[in-house]
Chain A
Amino acid sequence: MRSLLRLAPFIKPYARRYAGGLSLVLFGVVLAVVSPLVIKAAIDGLQEGELARPIAHFSVALVLLALARGLLMFRGRFTVIAASRSIEQDLRSALYRKMLRLPAAYFDRNSTGDLESRIINDVEGVRMAVGIAVMLSVSSGLMTVLSVAAMFSIDAKLAALTIVPLLLISLFTALLTKRIYRESETVQERLSDVTTVAQENFTGVRVVRAFAQEDEQIRKFRTASSAYVDANLALARTRGVTWGLMTMLIEAAVGVTLLVGGMGILRRTLTLGDFTAFTAYQFMLAWPVIAMGWVITIMQRGAACVDRIGAVLDEPEEETPGAASTKSAPPRGEIEVKHLTFRYTDDRPPALENLSVKILAGERVAIVGRTGSGKSTFLQLLLGHYRPDDRTVFLDGLDVNDYTREALREEIGIVAQDTFLFSDSLASNIAFGAKDEASMEAVQEAAEASRLAADLSQFPHGIEQIVGERGITLSGGQKQRTSIARALIRKPRILLLDDALAAVDVHTERDILDRLDRHFAGRTCLIVTHRFSVVAKVDRVLVFDDGRLVEDGRHEQLVDAGGLYAQLLKRQRLEETLELG
């Protein structure tokens, strides 16, 4: 329950609505408790053979009471449920905002599915706890108190006797709820085992077939499914016993009333009306008693959800304000790296090792090297996705760690290796990169510069075409060009292309680079590439190998040096002839 306290700031804005809604519900409960008294009066009157009023009046009174109660309950419940929905939304938005501020390393550690489940399922768990569970516990609580009071006022001895079975129900629910909870967890675990076997089977289908593993896989799946069935049946057994006991105890209370109350009627200490009202209260009590078990489960689950949400909210954000003198003016474009060694996590070998390099503002630099040589890591550090050691990476002579993330990224445009586009229109995807709201002209211009414009006529809706819509999928090259346009519309001082032209043909690539010359003269440009056709268009080439900078110079110099660069180049040239042959 303590974890639920964390929710206080989220609940506070709706405190008045809660108070209003809950008081309506409470009024409704009071009216519900009055109804059996009307029936009692009617029956007692009938038994004595003389009614104070026509019997129809009693009927009308019953209906009116029910109507009033119905309206109160409806209004009250609805108010509370609606408030809980609002809390759900606030919490969900807050959680999402928090995630947007977490560092890239956090997303490397946690799967998207898990984070998604926190924002969707866990927040829903919290809503159930603050909505339906709160309402039920309040209304059931009052209903219990009032009906017990009414029963005692009719016949204290009988009340005491019949309440025993109902108390037993509470006891059983409290005991069994825990067990049910535990067994439900087991069911979930077994289900996830089944899912794992199935998922591995589907993902590894080639291996399964190649090694004729079908029977073995079926055997594994059967075992997992069997275990799942067993877990379900264990739960069904406990649940069945719980329900059976509850039914038994509720009805037993009626039995006690029949026996003891009946005797009371015989001794004339009790009227038939009392007897009827008594059974009505017993039925009324049964529901809150059952609901309590349910409420406890929802609350427990809610508390677990709050913990999972809280864990995210407690994560350190990528911005560490006040850590150093934060600079909020964007960089101009000079990059300097001094003895940079970087590891993604402590237990992994360094992705970059003792890297030192200086890139002047306005320089155009190509970075080449094999897969895994640290090229992308270098760009990620410039963008502030990961935090290098202090005083190792400088922009315009200032430590990158001293910039606010926003200022740092303001003047950097990146075209990442795996192009990520939203399932939105091409225009929106391009405008996404702009510093402010982008005009349609600016979007068109960027599409032109990235050579995407030429392809637009292929799409039924041109630049308004939604990416990924049924039947319309972009080619790899089109995706890359869209993502280049997104970076260009930003008009950044520093442009980072991370193997961004791999999927476009050589001719288009040259065209794009020419346009960069025109539009981006004087701006720093780092181009990570596997293609040597690019290098003719750059001022300088950096060659990375195993996290180190092994060569640095102009294209011609490096060719003459006959090192790694020359080797890679030769290889590529031959590959090109093969491709054409």
Chain B
Amino acid sequence: MSTIDEEEEDAEKPYDWGLLKRFLSYLRPHRGAVALLFAILLGGIAVDLAAPFLLRRAIDGPIAAGDAAGLTRLAGFFFILVFLAGLFETAQHYVSNYAGQRILYDLRVQIFDRLQRLPLAYYDKTPVGRLLTRVTGDVENLAELFTSGIVGMLGSMLSLVLIVTAMLVIDAKMTALTMAVMPLVFLATKYFRLHARKTYRAARRAIAALTSYLNECLSGIKTIQAFNRQEACAARFDEGAALYRDRSIRAGYIYSFFWPGIELITTLAIALVLWRGGKGILEGSTTFGAFIAFWYLVRKFFEPIQELAEKYNILQSAMASSERIFAILDTPAAPAPEAPLTPPEPKGAIVFENVSFSYDGITPVLKNVSFTVEPGETVALVGYTGAGKTSVLSLLLRLYEIEKGRILVDGVDVRDWDPRELRKRFGMVFQDVFLFSGTVEENVALGRSLSREQLDAAAERVNADRVLGRLPDRWAQTLNERGASISSGERQLLSFARALAGDPSVLILDEATANIDAETEGLIQEALERILTARTSIVVAHRLSTVRKANKILVFHKGELREEGTHDQLVAQGGLYEKLHRLQFANGSRA
């Protein structure tokens, strides 16, 4: 991960009611669980606060009066409270997680859904790492917003209010005295919030910088070793690691200071209560029970205060995450027609009419390109790297939007098709095979309901049955991450099977035979003879042996369609194609 990325992830945001309100709208479908949660929260606090009152009654009543039966009865009540307290605790933990996880599930799936509908251009400019952070880290941060923020903070505030009320009920004067330490509490938490955040963030920045330097060094380890620079790099790393150490020690200083500080303030409040309460007892205006109950409440009083101070910081980073998530949800989806037309009969007819296209709106990639592909024809696209061949294929699938002209597939403008229906008519084989982790079957069938027989047939047609024969579990064989457990040639064979398994009306091969070994190439060549005759095919190839047999060859150069015709015509014409042809056939090179 780059430094820039980390800085972005580390950002925080002040409270923004708009964001919060929007997040709250995600609670609506789960309002039952949320309401239950608040009921549990209230119940828990009530039970918690009932204990001191019971204590007061026991001390002032049965214990003072010597009433053993009364004491037993009150102790019985106390045990019931104990049981309820445990129950509420369990329920609160589970229900808050339940509601939180449901909400996060909704959000996570919504982000993912959205990403499936964003135009491909969005992916061209957004690194995968950043997208991943959105569906994992940022969503987890929002979990914190719910559990710590909404539930935690509201819970803390609620219990603070109730504790103070209980204190007032028991003894107003002692309550006022306890409140006298509040300015100290405010100062301490304010100092903590300010400095803890600052020092903590400084430490985060140091570790982020260290991580990104480390990442760089590990990626460039050979360069470091080749230049004998290990010592220099180690010294620089030490420097960064020491900075992180010093900054985290500084942050640790603030933290070590805060807890004893709050403890001290708590004791101060208790000392005041002891003083005032003791005097009250001596004067007869306070009972022992009230005194001890109050003492109990004062201890409780500082718990939510500590929690509030801690959670404030969590909330800020959650705010930043929610903003980034909502930005994805607000990105406009790739355009799709409202009432898509789907030609009933797949024929495989393609027309490009004066098509112009550019990825960035500045540099033209295709200039006024027109051609026709009749059903059943094999058309080869030929030209130098960057001539625009792959762009033609992407536009055909409507992965990008054209600037001028129109593209017709089976007589209908691609912009009027439902993009998915459109793409289902094509079978694609790319130069770089992308396999998902999963079984071979999943990778070839790709969610289409295909029987083993259909799969076997597809595999056989492209000579991929040999690959299956080599795998111990055949179709059920699991492939590693990015399909690393089989060779690149075998992967390409599987991707041919994948393209043909859906019986597409148009087959598209984009440099499909580059980057593979001679043996696999032979297998594919043999298969191609069979496959290409059966349906409309568009082939981008370096190898002219495939191109030669095409019904039509389109020669692209710098975004323009320069030549068009059969192999013999183009060779006779003596243009670009003829040169390309000489290049390959004159020396019989296999590359």
Contact partner, A208, options B2, B91, B116, B237, Cβ 8 Å = B116
A181 is an interface residue with CB less than 8 A from chain B: no
Decide if A240 touches B91 in the complex (CB within 8 Å): yes
In the complex, A209→B112 CA distance in Å?
Answer: 14
Contact partner, B82, options A213, A219, A252, A272, Cβ 8 Å = A252
Decide if B274 touches A62 in the complex (CB within 8 Å): yes
Decide if A243 touches B437 in the complex (CB within 8 Å): no
B50 to chain A, nearest CB (A): 11
In the complex, A14→B248 CA distance in Å?
Answer: 17
For B116, the chain A residues whose CB sits under 8 A away are: 201, 208, 214, 217-218
Contact partner, A272, options B245, B288, B591, Cβ 8 Å = B288
For A74, the chain B residues whose CB sits under 8 A away are: 256-257, 260
Binds A, one of B18-26, B354-362, B459-467, B582-590: B582-590
A490 is an interface residue with CB less than 8 A from chain B: yes
Decide if B436 touches A59 in the complex (CB within 8 Å): no
A545 to chain B, nearest CB (A): 11
In the complex, A213→B428 CA distance in Å?
Answer: 13
Given A216-B447, A218-B113, A262-B71, verify A237-B281 contact (CB < 8 Å): no
A518 is an interface residue with CB less than 8 A from chain B: no
Decide if A104 touches B245 in the complex (CB within 8 Å): no
B15 is an interface residue with CB less than 8 A from chain A: no
Bitwise, A222-266 to B at CB < 8 A (1) or not (0) is 100110010011001101110111011001101100110011011
A472 to chain B, nearest CB (A): 12
Decide if B226 touches A70 in the complex (CB within 8 Å): no
Contact partner, A210, options B223, B227, B428, Cβ 8 Å = B428
> Closest residue of chain A to B265, judged by CB?
A66
Decide if B271 touches A59 in the complex (CB within 8 Å): yes
In the complex, A55→B218 CA distance in Å?
Answer: 67
Decide if A196 touches B260 in the complex (CB within 8 Å): no
Decide if A89 touches B245 in the complex (CB within 8 Å): yes
Tell me the residues in window 341-390 of chain B with beta carbons closer than 8 Å to chain A beta carbons. 384
Decide if A258 touches B113 in the complex (CB within 8 Å): no
Give the secondary structure class of A's interface.
helix
Bitwise, B208-246 to A at CB < 8 A (1) or not (0) is 001110111111111111111110111001100110110
Decide if B220 touches A422 in the complex (CB within 8 Å): yes
For B109, the chain A residues whose CB sits under 8 A away are: 218, 221-222, 225
Binds B, one of A92-100, A156-164, A387-395: A92-100
Tell me the residues in window 176-191 of chain A with beta carbons closer than 8 Å to chain B beta carbons. 191
B298 is an interface residue with CB less than 8 A from chain A: no
For B4, the chain A residues whose CB sits under 8 A away are: 470
Binds B, one of A39-47, A288-296, A520-528: A39-47
B68 is an interface residue with CB less than 8 A from chain A: yes
A283 is an interface residue with CB less than 8 A from chain B: yes
Contact partner, A120, options B85, B214, B220, B230, Cβ 8 Å = B214
Given A82-B252, A247-B89, A255-B82, verify A66-B264 contact (CB < 8 Å): yes
A73 is an interface residue with CB less than 8 A from chain B: yes
For B252, the chain A residues whose CB sits under 8 A away are: 78, 81-82, 85
Contact partner, A86, options B245, B260, B423, B482, Cβ 8 Å = B245
For A490, the chain B residues whose CB sits under 8 A away are: 227
B165 is an interface residue with CB less than 8 A from chain A: no
Decide if A420 touches B219 in the complex (CB within 8 Å): yes
In the complex, A77→B259 CA distance in Å?
Answer: 11
> Closest residue of chain A to B422, judged by CB?
A212
In the complex, A60→B267 CA distance in Å?
Answer: 10
B312 is an interface residue with CB less than 8 A from chain A: no
Contact partner, A85, options B3, B210, B221, B249, Cβ 8 Å = B249
A207 is an interface residue with CB less than 8 A from chain B: yes
For B82, the chain A residues whose CB sits under 8 A away are: 248, 251-252, 254-255
Decide if B268 touches A63 in the complex (CB within 8 Å): yes
B309 is an interface residue with CB less than 8 A from chain A: no
Contact partner, B397, options A116, A210, A237, Cβ 8 Å = A210
A149 is an interface residue with CB less than 8 A from chain B: no
In the complex, A236→B102 CA distance in Å?
Answer: 13
In the complex, A570→B579 CA distance in Å?
Answer: 11
In the complex, A2→B91 CA distance in Å?
Answer: 39
> Closest residue of chain A to B423, judged by CB?
A212
For B579, the chain A residues whose CB sits under 8 A away are: 574, 577-578, 581
In the complex, A229→B98 CA distance in Å?
Answer: 9
For B259, the chain A residues whose CB sits under 8 A away are: 73
Tell me the residues in window 390-413 of chain A with beta carbons closer than 8 Å to chain B beta carbons. 405-406, 409-410, 412
For A207, the chain B residues whose CB sits under 8 A away are: 428, 430, 434
B329 is an interface residue with CB less than 8 A from chain A: no
Binds A, one of B56-64, B168-176, B313-321: B56-64
A101 is an interface residue with CB less than 8 A from chain B: yes
Decide if A78 touches B587 in the complex (CB within 8 Å): no
For A211, the chain B residues whose CB sits under 8 A away are: 423, 428, 446, 498, 502
B101 is an interface residue with CB less than 8 A from chain A: yes
Decide if B420 touches A214 in the complex (CB within 8 Å): yes
> Closest residue of chain A to B557, judged by CB?
A581
B328 is an interface residue with CB less than 8 A from chain A: no
> Closest residue of chain A to B203, judged by CB?
A85
A432 is an interface residue with CB less than 8 A from chain B: yes
Decide if B589 touches A229 in the complex (CB within 8 Å): no
B253 is an interface residue with CB less than 8 A from chain A: yes
B111 to chain A, nearest CB (A): 9
B81 is an interface residue with CB less than 8 A from chain A: yes
In the complex, A212→B117 CA distance in Å?
Answer: 11
Given A203-B128, A409-B227, verify A247-B123 contact (CB < 8 Å): no
A17 is an interface residue with CB less than 8 A from chain B: no
For B55, the chain A residues whose CB sits under 8 A away are: 258
> Closest residue of chain A to B581, judged by CB?
A574
B31 to chain A, nearest CB (A): 18
A579 is an interface residue with CB less than 8 A from chain B: yes
For B120, the chain A residues whose CB sits under 8 A away are: 205-206, 209
Decide if A248 touches B85 in the complex (CB within 8 Å): yes
Q: Looking at B59, B79, B278, B426, which has the most chain A CB atoms within 10 Å of its CB?
A: B278
Contact partner, B93, options A43, A120, A244, A571, Cβ 8 Å = A244
Decide if A55 touches B105 in the complex (CB within 8 Å): no
In the complex, A112→B214 CA distance in Å?
Answer: 9
A46 to chain B, nearest CB (A): 5
In the complex, A575→B97 CA distance in Å?
Answer: 63
B136 is an interface residue with CB less than 8 A from chain A: yes
Decide if A575 touches B583 in the complex (CB within 8 Å): yes
B185 is an interface residue with CB less than 8 A from chain A: no
In the complex, A262→B74 CA distance in Å?
Answer: 11
> Closest residue of chain A to B232, judged by CB?
A432
Given A210-B399, A229-B105, A574-B580, verify A92-B241 contact (CB < 8 Å): yes
B279 is an interface residue with CB less than 8 A from chain A: yes
Decide if B228 touches A100 in the complex (CB within 8 Å): no
Given A55-B278, A263-B71, A318-B225, verify A240-B89 contact (CB < 8 Å): yes
B308 is an interface residue with CB less than 8 A from chain A: no
B282 is an interface residue with CB less than 8 A from chain A: yes
Decide if A423 touches B447 in the complex (CB within 8 Å): no
A199 is an interface residue with CB less than 8 A from chain B: yes
Given A202-B123, A252-B79, A262-B58, verify A432-B583 contact (CB < 8 Å): no
In the complex, A423→B397 CA distance in Å?
Answer: 39
B512 is an interface residue with CB less than 8 A from chain A: no
For B93, the chain A residues whose CB sits under 8 A away are: 236, 239-240, 243-244
For B282, the chain A residues whose CB sits under 8 A away are: 46, 49, 51, 55
Decide if A266 touches B68 in the complex (CB within 8 Å): yes
Decide if B292 touches A276 in the complex (CB within 8 Å): yes
> Closest residue of chain B to A412, judged by CB?
B226
What would be 12 A-B contacts, judged by CB atoms less than 8 Å apart? A60-B271, A70-B260, A78-B252, A78-B256, A212-B420, A221-B112, A244-B93, A262-B62, A263-B68, A276-B292, A486-B227, A574-B582
Q: A42-B274, A225-B109, A248-B82 are in contact. List 16 more A-B contacts (CB 8 A).
A: A58-B278, A65-B267, A74-B260, A92-B241, A232-B97, A244-B91, A255-B79, A258-B55, A272-B288, A380-B222, A416-B223, A566-B587, A568-B589, A574-B580, A575-B583, A581-B557
Give the 3 A-B CB pairs with smallest separation, nearest first: A248-B86, A216-B447, A244-B90
